[in-house]
């Protein structure tokens, strides 16, 4: 759909985002974060919905202004239909529906997880298929066999927590402020990643389990702080580096097994956790080691953003997948 001009809207969790995609190129990609959740140490769904309601109009206006696109120039509206927080999804979804009805243009409901994979389709080079994708976000951890944009098969998945949750909950145990995931990465930069050993749960095949490694960290910190009250403060960098290494090694261990099993033509990394510098470095090294093209999105396309929604919308529109005005949001799953 070379001549489409698509407005993308993302509101699945605590970021209100809007992007404009014209003829396959991103002209604007803006996000309003929600600092209010910092006071509570995590996302409060009701507050998230209210903040989306306040942010959505200014963010969409700003995206259109940045792209120098008038409402009348739009040819379709893409929005996150799910999975996510119900109230948050309703705000973005209803806004998108209103615009679609008002302008008389197609509405495209996008799966948030498929959109994270689509972040690999925004900039060149194009992925060689089949691509094996490691999707690591705050809510999901999956290995996907991607045969084309429309054909994605989950071949491995976490049976409990997501990798991002393991980072964020680990950060909480270390008393780092919310959002803690990025702070683990930051502190790890100056630490010794071999100093402490943390072990992940053993699950068969290509599935993951992250709840055990978090408990492992909890018991370790309890024991050490009994012996030395300021253990965490004095060893923060080494703990972060060792914990982060253990999580990333585990992610890549299973992913390597998947490469051996599925023999892809390329590999891709997507989702908010792919913002972590160590994961980007190690994933790239894995590509070199296995002799495979390795795709990692630009930093701004890793965490929740609307550019990935707009590009996913373009592929869906090309294949005739538009969404009915009465379509409901969904909170879970890849549908």
Please report, as ranges, the residues that interact with Zn ion according to CB under 5 A.
Answer: 137, 304
83 is a site residue for ligand KG4 (CB under 6 A): no
Nearest distance in Å: CB 116, Zn ion: 6
Nearest distance in Å: CB 2, ligand KG4: 29
Binding to ligand KG4 in span 98-157, by CB under 6 A: 137-139
Q: Of the two residues 137 and 142, which places its CB atom closer to Zn ion in the complex?
A: 137
271 is a site residue for ligand KG4 (CB under 6 A): yes
* Strand, coil or helix: 109: strand
185 is a site residue for ligand KG4 (CB under 6 A): yes
Question: How far apart are alpha carbons 257 and 162 in whole angstroms?
Answer: 19
14 binds, among ligand KG4, Zn ion, none (CB under 5 to 8 A by kind): none
10 is a site residue for ligand KG4 (CB under 6 A): no
Nearest distance in Å: CB 259, ligand KG4: 23
149 binds, among Zn ion, ligand KG4, none (CB under 5 to 8 A by kind): none
Q: Of the two residues 56 and 117, which places its CB atom closer to ligand KG4 in the complex?
A: 117
Binding to ligand KG4 in span 285-314, by CB under 6 A: 303-304
CA distances from 214 to 160, 168, 261, 296 (A): 11, 10, 28, 26
Question: How far apart are alpha carbons 228 and 232 in whole angstroms?
Answer: 9
Return the residue matching tokens 């309890």.
222
Q: How far is CA 181 from the centre of its chain?
A: 13
Nearest distance in Å: CB 297, Zn ion: 12
CA distances from 231 to 125, 166, 168, 226, 227 (A): 46, 21, 20, 9, 8
Nearest distance in Å: CB 316, ligand KG4: 19
Q: Of the two residues 210 and 315, which places its CB atom closer to ligand KG4 in the complex?
A: 210
Bridge partners for 158 per DSSP: 208
**Cα-Cα-Cα-Cα dihedral sign, residues 58, 61, 63, 66:** negative
Contact yes or no for 129/297 (Cβ under 8 A): no
Nearest distance in Å: CB 292, ligand KG4: 23
Q: Is 241 exposed, middle or buried (0-12, 13-18, 19+ CB in 10 A)?
A: buried
Contact yes or no for 197/150 (Cβ under 8 A): no
Q: Of the two residues 137 and 274, which places its CB atom closer to Zn ion in the complex?
A: 137
Name every residue whose Cβ is closer than 8 Å to that of residue 320 and which is 6 or more positions away in sequence. Answer: none
Question: How far apart are alpha carbons 211 and 250 in whole angstroms?
Answer: 13
Nearest distance in Å: CB 272, Zn ion: 6
- Determine the interface stretch with ligand KG4 among 96-104, 225-233, 267-275, 311-319 (rule: CB under 6 A): 267-275
167 binds, among ligand KG4, Zn ion, none (CB under 5 to 8 A by kind): ligand KG4
Q: Of the two residues 193 and 304, which places its CB atom closer to ligand KG4 in the complex?
A: 304
* Residues near ligand KG4 (CB under 6 A): 13, 137-139, 164, 167-168, 181-182, 185, 271-273, 275-276, 303-304
């Amino acid at each position: 759909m070379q001549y489409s001009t698509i407005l993308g809207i993302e509101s699945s969790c605590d970021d209100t985002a809007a992007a404009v995609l014209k003829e396959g190129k991103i002209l604007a990609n803006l996000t309003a974060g929600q600092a209010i959740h910092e006071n509570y140490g995590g996302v409060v769904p009701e507050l998230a919905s209210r903040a989306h309601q306040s942010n959505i109009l200014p963010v969409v206006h700003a995206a259109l202004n940045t792209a120098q696109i008038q409402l009348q120039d739009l040819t379709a509206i893409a929005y996150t239909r799910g999975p996510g927080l119900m109230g948050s999804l309703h705000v973005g979804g209803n806004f998108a529906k209103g615009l679609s009805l008002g302008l008389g243009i197609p509405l495209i409901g996008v799966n948030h997880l498929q959109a994270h994979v689509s972040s690999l389709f925004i900039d060149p080079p194009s992925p060689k298929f089949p691509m094996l994708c490691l999707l690591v976000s705050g809510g999901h951890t999956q290995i996907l066999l991607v045969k084309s944009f429309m054909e994605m098969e989950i071949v491995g998945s976490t049976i409990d927590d997501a990798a991002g949750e393991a980072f964020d909950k680990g950060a909480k145990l270390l008393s780092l402020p919310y959002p803690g995931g990025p702070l683990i990465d930051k502190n790890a930069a100056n630490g010794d990643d071999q100093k402490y050993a943390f072990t992940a749960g053993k699950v068969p095949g290509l599935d993951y389990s992250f709840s055990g490694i978090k408990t492992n960290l909890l018991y370790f910190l309890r024991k050490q702080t009994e012996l030395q009250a300021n253990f965490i403060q004095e060893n923060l960098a080494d703990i972060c580096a060792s914990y982060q290494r253990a999580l990333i090694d585990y992610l890549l261990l299973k992913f390597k097994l998947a490469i051996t099993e599925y023999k892809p033509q390329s590999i891709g990394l997507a989702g908010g956790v792919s913002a972590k510098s160590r994961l980007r470095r190690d994933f790239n090294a894995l590509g070199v080691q296995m002799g495979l093209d390795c795709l990692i999105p630009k930093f701004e396309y890793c965490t929740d953003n609307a550019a990935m929604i707009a590009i996913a919308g373009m592929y869906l529109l090309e294949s005739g997948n538009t969404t009915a005005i009465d379509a409901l949001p969904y909170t879970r799953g890849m549908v």
